[in-house]
Amino acid sequence: MGSQTRAASSAEHTLRRRLGAEDPLSAGNETLNVGKGSVSSELISSERIASGRLKIQVREVVDYPYLDSSGESMGEAYVREVVLQPEGDGWRIESNEVPEGSWPLLEGATAFEGSLQPGSESVSPVGSEPADAGVAESAATALGSTREDAASYALRYALSYNDRYRNFGNDCTNFISQALRAGGFNNRHMLQNKTSTWSWWYDHEWIDEWSHSWSVANYHYKFHLNTKRGKVSWTSSRALVRGDLVYADWRRDGVKDHVWMVTGYTPRGDRRVSGHTADRRNVSVGWLQAKAKETYSNPSYRNVRMQWGEF
């Protein structure tokens, strides 16, 4: 076991990307300051497989400040699985995969050597109309501080996990529920029918159980509309402020599959969101929606204004 761990550590070390890039990195219609960012990798597991090969899982985390006046940064984290083939005194990369649905945004800006990511370090621009983000800032403040507490929680735990809660794997809704709880939303109909779209609860102190609306995006969406905790905004996501939600229906079949929370604004007026499953912090929602079209042919979205201060 010791030699396997040493081999994995050695292989992982050879895969680390040498930082020092000073050129800006294009991120949709935004630009990231690579020179002042951080890229790291953590070896999660390793195992010997057939023919002396080594399969390792590495959790990659990137974090770059935006080159704009917002003072904000973006980050993402995901697990990459790499199979290494012994070759001489070293290792040759046989395969390099990220789980389906993760689609790392910064394909060239991972913690690995460039040979692992032969693609470009840029993505196609997403159109964006100019807007005054200051208006949204004022609206968020006027609507109360609790939504700010929720957004702050989402920013804090977007690339990590709070051990007071379970990690569901498909963790997007559980994560947003945690943020709503941090903002002051209380349990409703505690310990009652788990499948009801009129109840929302998680007991993480005694029995470690929860309602479907806590952890499943479609139930979560229906609960907040049923109870008037949330209201669909039929305008663009630019009407949203921190603490509001964006739901994704990847297959346009009426079932909500994913949810993000608004946690920031671009100087051009787009919204930045944070979420789990594909762990991302403060990423342009327009950029995410453009990337989603590479996997899903016709996704749809619902923007939901959360009614803070009433629950």
pLDDT, average across residues 258-280:
92
The verdict on residue 245 lying in a domain is: yes
Q: Using CA atoms, how far apart are residues 222 and 247, in angstroms rounded to an integer?
A: 11
Q: What are the two backbone dihedrals, phi and then psi, of residue 5, each rounded to the nearest 5 degrees?
A: -65, -40
User: Which range is most confident: 32-41, 111-120, 153-162, 196-205?
Assistant: 153-162
User: Which range is most confident: 69-73, 161-165, 261-265?
Assistant: 261-265
Do 72 and 160 share a domain, yes or no? Answer: no
Domain holding 222, by residue range, is 133-306
pTM to 2 decimal places: 0.75
pLDDT computed for residue 110 by the predictor: 34
The verdict on residue 45 lying in a domain is: yes
Do 140 and 286 share a domain, yes or no? Answer: yes
Do 165 and 294 share a domain, yes or no? Answer: yes
Do 138 and 99 share a domain, yes or no? Answer: no
pLDDT computed for residue 68 by the predictor: 76
Residue 133 above 90 pLDDT?
no
Residue 286 above 90 pLDDT?
no
Do 156 and 34 share a domain, yes or no? Answer: no
Do 139 and 107 share a domain, yes or no? Answer: no
As for how many domains the chain has, the answer is: 2
In the listed set 116, 149, 174, which residue is the last one of a domain according to the structure? 116
The residue that leads in pLDDT, 244 or 118, is 244
Residue 67 above 80 pLDDT?
no
Spatial contact of 55 and 7, defined as CB atoms under 8 Å apart: no
Q: Per the structure block, which two tokens stand in for 240? A: 């949203």
Model confidence pLDDT, tens digit, residues 30-43: 566 655 777 777 88
In the listed set 116, 145, 170, which residue is the last one of a domain according to the structure? 116
Do 91 and 141 share a domain, yes or no? Answer: no
Q: Per the structure block, which two tokens stand in for 185? A: 């939303």
Do 61 and 157 share a domain, yes or no? Answer: no
In single-letter form, the type of residue at position 140 comes to A
Do 57 and 148 share a domain, yes or no? Answer: no
The residue that leads in pLDDT, 310 or 47, is 47
Residue 169 above 60 pLDDT?
yes
Q: What are the two backbone dihedrals, phi and then psi, of residue 36, each rounded to the nearest 5 degrees?
A: -105, 10
Sequence-ordered list of residues with C-beta below 8 angstroms from that of 228, at least 6 positions apart, any chain: 307
In the listed set 116, 148, 176, which residue is the last one of a domain according to the structure? 116
Residue 5 above 60 pLDDT?
no
Sequence-ordered list of residues with C-beta below 8 angstroms from that of 94, at least 6 positions apart, any chain: 53, 83, 84, 85
Phi/psi region, residue 282 (left: phi>0; alpha: psi -120 to 50; beta: rest), is left
Do 172 and 268 share a domain, yes or no? Answer: yes
Do 79 and 220 share a domain, yes or no? Answer: no
Do 288 and 141 share a domain, yes or no? Answer: yes
